[in-house]
Amino acid sequence: MDRLAEEYNAEAERLAEQLDLCGIKKEALSSKARLSLHLLASTASKLQLAEARPELVLAAWADLLVKESRATAVLHKLQEGIDSLAQKKAAAQATNQVLQQILQDVQSQQRRLADKVSEQAKTTGQMRVKQQEYCRTQAKYQRRLAANGFTPEITHAALEADHNRVTELQQRLAGLQAKLASYHHLPASMLGAELALQQASERLVEKQANLQSRLADIE
């Protein structure tokens, strides 16, 4: 910076010399001219120019505008990226809220299910206790029945089962009797049956002969 200040001071001296050569004193310049000269020197200083020539100032100024334009474009892209991230963040927050609601619903269902399971376990325990009481009561009455001479064979269920078996046997017996009657009271043995059939045939022949004899007498 000191070097630039020295250069600007030297440039100011050169400008003053040129003004002197032209017969123009710095003090003779108007306030606006001096202000313009000061602004030109200040602008050259900020643009880091070795000389405060107008063409150099304009070129540096144009380069600065190009850089500013590029910076604006980059800033615009950054802003678009920020907006996109903001939208994604909002969508993620909305999704997160939905997921949290779903999680709360699932947790609520789990609590209700746990309560139901606990209630069922309690009911099962009560039923188990009642079953044990019923078993003890049944055993007590069975002991009393045994003391009074009761035997399980004459229970209603056992009698009902025996009745069903007797009915089934009677039905089978009726079927066998009907089948036996279809044999016209033939003996059970094969030899006896053949003898009975032979005797029946002989009686049939005898009756046929008698019938023919009577028919002959009628004629």
More confidently predicted of 211 and 107 = 107
Q: Which of 26, 30, 27 is nearest to 14 (CA)?
A: 26
pTM: 0.33
Task: Give residue 5's pLDDT.
Answer: 56
* Euclidean distance between CA atoms 168 and 162, whole angstroms: 10
Give Cα separations from 150 to 91, 140, 153, 160, 200 (angstroms).
82, 14, 9, 17, 60
Coil, helix or strand for 37? Answer: helix
Task: Give residue 201's pLDDT.
Answer: 79
Residue with tokens 């334009």: 69
How many C-beta atoms surround the C-beta of residue 43 within 10 A?
14
pLDDT tens string 15-25: 555 555 555 55
Task: Give residue 31's pLDDT.
Answer: 67
pLDDT tens string 91-147: 888 888 888 899 888 888 888 888 888 888 888 888 888 888 888 888 888 788 777
pLDDT tens string 99-110: 889 988 888 888
Structural domain spans, the chain: 1-52, 185-219
Backbone angles phi, psi at 188, to 5 degrees: -75, -30
